[in-house]
Amino acid sequence: DTGVSQNPRHKITKRGQNVTFRCDPISEHNRLYWYRQTLGQGPEFLTYFQNEAQLEKSRLLSDRFSAERPKGSFSTLEIQRTEQGDSAMYLCASSLGGRGGNEQFFGPGTRLTVL
Amino acid sequence: SQQGEEDPQALSIQEGENATMNCSYKTSINNLQWYRQNSGRGLVHLILIRSNEREKHSGRLRVTLDTSKKSSSLLITASRAADTASYFCATDRSNDYKLSFGAGTTVTVRA
């Protein structure tokens, strides 16, 4: 257990539905990241926050995706109008920031299946 | 896009043997990290090596970094069945904290 939690662990939804995932980072970490991983591949960066500010978004993050981190604590990732291509493992990570070495600690992931 | 590339894609060894896997990357980096992932689970951080370091040890793990060749290696000594997992290298760049991962090396340790 890395101290990063994600909910739900699994989500099955029908195409066109909206889904929302939650990530609770390690409490003293000010940076929070979302990645997506498909079968047989390494994780791909989606977006990251420093405190409550969303500082970078990948081109992978279409306008159907939105992420928030209110008050710089937990974060949510919402996917609207899901498509079958959104099926993947969504991973959240957090890091301490500052002069740290950017070690990122990952949660267990949310596996999304879009039917 | 994937910055790193691990080699080999898969590795099968006997318990007690050493496992070595390599990672090559394309652009200059600030840090390189290795992660382990058991099937269908989250990633576990193993070790971080900074661009000005050449070698680092942690328990049965030894990581080397050659920035002139843009490559790193991970050595697991005296492997155990519990080391069966996928191993990923991930890089970041100066003032850019997102990680770029390779596709990973799948290691199977046979009892």
Which residues in chain B touch residue A94, judged by CB atoms under 8 angstroms apart? none
Encoded tokens for A72: 């710089």
Which residues in chain A touch residue B31, judged by CB atoms under 8 angstroms apart? 101-102
Q: Is B87 on the interface with A (CB under 8 A)?
A: no
**C-alpha to C-alpha distances, B68 to A87, B52, B57, nearest whole angstrom:** 38, 11, 21
Q: Which of A40, A45, A103 sits opposite B33 (nearest CB)?
A: A103
| Beta carbons of A106 and B43 less than 8 Å apart | yes
Q: Is A41 on the interface with B (CB under 8 A)?
A: yes
Q: What is the pLDDT of residue B28?
A: 92
Q: What is the pLDDT of residue B96?
A: 86
Q: Convert the pLDDT of each residue in B87-100 to its tens digit.
A: 999 999 988 889 99
Is residue A113 a contact partner of residue A13, using CB atoms and an 8 Å limit?
A: yes
Q: Convert the pLDDT of each residue in B42-88 to its tens digit.
A: 899 999 999 999 999 999 999 999 999 999 999 999 999 999 999 99
CA–CA dist B37, B88 (Å, integer): 8
Identify the CA nearest to B105 among candidates B90, B82, B85, B91.
Answer: B85
CA–CA dist A109, A77 (Å, integer): 12
Encoded tokens for B78: 């005296």
Mean pLDDT of chain A: 93
Residue A103 CA from chain centroid, whole number: 17
Regions of chain A short of the pLDDT cut 70:
98-101
DSSP per-residue letters across B36-103: EE-TTS-EEEEEEEETT--EEEETTEEEEEETTTTEEEEEE-S--GGG-EEEEEEEEETTEEEEEE--
Q: What is the pLDDT of residue B51?
A: 94
Which residues in chain B touch residue A56, judged by CB atoms under 8 angstroms apart? 98
Q: Is B33 on the interface with A (CB under 8 A)?
A: yes
Reduced to 3 states (helix: H, G, I; strand: E, B; else coil), residue B28 is: coil
Q: What is the pLDDT of residue B52?
A: 94
Q: Is the pLDDT of residue B4 over 80?
A: no
| Beta carbons of A102 and B35 less than 8 Å apart | no
Q: Is B41 on the interface with A (CB under 8 A)?
A: yes
Which residues in chain A touch residue B99, judged by CB atoms under 8 angstroms apart? 33, 35, 43, 45, 93, 102, 104
Mean pLDDT over B21-31 rounds to 93
Is residue B99 a contact partner of residue A43, using CB atoms and an 8 Å limit?
A: yes
Identify the CA nearest to A2 among candidates A105, A103, A110, A102.
Answer: A105
